[in-house]
């Protein structure tokens, strides 16, 4: 059976981009057709300036939202990265396979490091090595597929390179995974700056629709979205990024096709109005279920406990095999492990 792994980082409140680009696919498709694991990757949240209490809060919230979005613990495994030691264990081995140059070429590293420096802060070493930890997340489970939005594809490509290199040098240990992307809305853009991704840790609140935004807040944000000069509604990401973004969001929420929807509208106002309502309707059931789950925190905790147990059992043999393959002496003496 195909195995799927993906994750979400608790560095901010989850957004419409996270939902349309990743979570919805996990809930409606992946968990039904594959053996799937979904992880709240809290160790990754420590790569930038962070507040410990906030990371804890956001981790719990992300877990609750994943379940609210429809992940079903009877069908898939939902867990928190730091509850399973294998991720950090494997990450170190992969650091011994990756190169410094490879890390510095990662677009997200370049962007985030530049942003940190502009703010006068220092860049954590873990920001540089972050994609190696991400590779460990995926490879520890021998995942075949990694459903992600556009911005994570480069990291999955790196994961493939590391898996191939490790296998060639030390013997076949890892499955070489591939990224999968949704057909529309693989890169939802910021409503106030349609040339930038809608990112949960950005500062431009009015351009970001959060999954827990009240319907009226969603409407206001969409109605105020920056559009382009010109009047006709056409789908062209290059010359009309604002309108193209709205068409993609509408298509993703209503099941249509962005280019075809372009022909339906005669004004930006009408497009915005329908997009706002489509987003409100998509978020409504998620928000309702989120409210129910918040009333039962014991349930979410139980899901995460069981998930971590399953994830440990799944990843342990592969990480142990990688330790042996790379030349580390096994610790156990029973069964002639030292022989
Ligand atoms: P993160 O937390 O930034 O995002 C979680 C998922 O949401 C997708 N996404 C988007 N898709 C479309 N439009 C957007 N504006 C948008 N913003 C976010 C992301 O592509 C992602 O699929 N490094 C990862 C987390 C991670 C991971 C992993 C993912 C760690 N280990 C292993 C897959 C496998 C991240 O920061 O995602």
What pLDDT digit, counting tens, does each position of 44-58 carry?
A: 999 998 999 999 999
Sign of CA dihedral 118, 121, 125, 127: negative
Is residue 9 within 6 Å of ligand 1 at its C-beta? yes
For residue 310 the two structure tokens come to 């399953």
pLDDT digits (tens, 9 = 90+) for 291-316: 999 999 999 999 999 999 999 999 99
Q: How many domains does the chain have?
A: 2
Q: Within a domain: residue 194?
A: no
141 in the same domain as 39: yes
Catalytic residue among 9, 197, 221, 272: 197
Is residue 202 within 6 Å of ligand 1 at its C-beta? no
pLDDT at 12 over 80: yes
Q: Within a domain: residue 198?
A: no
Strand ordering across the sheet containing 35-40: 76-80, 35-40, 3-8, 145-147, 178-180
48 in the same domain as 28: yes
Is residue 22 within 6 Å of ligand 1 at its C-beta? yes
Q: Within a domain: residue 172?
A: yes
- Report the CATH number that the domain containing residue 27 is assigned in CATH: 3.40.50.620
Q: Is 197 a catalytic residue?
A: yes
309 in the same domain as 170: yes
Q: How many CB atoms lie within 10 A of CB 238?
A: 6
Catalytic residue among 9, 200, 221, 272: 200
- Report the CATH number that the domain containing residue 269 is assigned in CATH: 1.10.240.10
- Are the CB atoms for 139 and 326 separated by under 8 Å? no
Q: Within a domain: residue 187?
A: no
User: Structure pTM?
Assistant: 0.96
Q: Is 221 a catalytic residue?
A: no
Q: Within a domain: residue 60?
A: yes
Is residue 207 within 6 Å of ligand 1 at its C-beta? no
pLDDT digits (tens, 9 = 90+) for 16-45: 999 999 999 999 999 999 999 999 999 999
Domain around 72:
3-181+297-338
Strand runs labelled E in 97-164: 145-147
167 in the same domain as 50: yes
Q: Within a domain: residue 219?
A: yes
Q: Is 112 a catalytic residue?
A: yes
pLDDT digits (tens, 9 = 90+) for 184-214: 999 999 999 999 999 987 666 899 999 999 9
Residue 333: predicted pLDDT? 59
223 in the same domain as 98: no
Asked which of 256, 275, 292 is the last residue of a domain, the reply is: 292
Q: Cα separation of 175 and 160, whole Å?
A: 9
pLDDT at 334 over 70: no
């Amino acid at each position: 059976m195909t195995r799927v792994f993906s994750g979400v980082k608790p560095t901010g409140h989850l957004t419409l981009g996270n939902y349309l680009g990743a979570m919805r696919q996990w809930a409606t498709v992946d968990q039904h057709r594959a053996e799937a694991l979904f992880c709240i990757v809290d160790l990754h949240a420590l790569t930038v300036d962070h507040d410990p209490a906030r990371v804890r809060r956001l981790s719990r919230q992300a877990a609750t939202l994943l379940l609210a979005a429809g992940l079903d613990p009877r069908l898939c495994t939902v867990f928190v990265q730091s509850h399973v030691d294998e991720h950090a264990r494997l990450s170190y081995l992969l650091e011994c396979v990756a190169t410094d140059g490879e890390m510095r070429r990662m677009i997200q590293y370049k962007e985030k490091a530049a942003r940190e420096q502009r703010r006068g802060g220092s860049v954590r070493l873990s920001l540089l090595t972050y994609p190696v930890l991400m590779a460990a997340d995926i490879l520890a489970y021998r995942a075949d597929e990694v459903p992600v939005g556009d911005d994570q594809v480069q990291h999955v490509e790196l994961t493939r390179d590391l898996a191939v290199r490790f296998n060639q040098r030390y013997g076949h240990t890892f499955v070489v995974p591939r990224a999968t992307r949704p057909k529309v809305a693989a890169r939802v853009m910021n409503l106030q700056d349609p040339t930038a991704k809608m990112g949960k840790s950005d500062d431009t609140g009015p351009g970001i629709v959060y999954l827990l935004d009240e319907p009226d807040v969603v409407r206001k944000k969409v109605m105020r979205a920056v559009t382009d000069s010109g009047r006709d509604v056409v789908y062209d990401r290059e010359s009309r990024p604002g309108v193209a973004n709205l068409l993609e969001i509408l298509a993703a929420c209503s099941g249509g096709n962005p280019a075809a929807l372009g022909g339906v509208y005669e004004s930006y106002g009408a497009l915005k109005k329908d997009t706002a309502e489509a987003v409100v309707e998509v978020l409504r059931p998620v928000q309702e279920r989120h409210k129910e789950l918040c009333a039962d925190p014991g349930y979410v905790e139980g899901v995460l406990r069981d998930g971590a147990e399953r994830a440990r059992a799944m990843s342990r043999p592969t990480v142990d095999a990688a330790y042996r393959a790379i030349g580390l002496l096994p610790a156990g003496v029973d069964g002639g492990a030292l022989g």
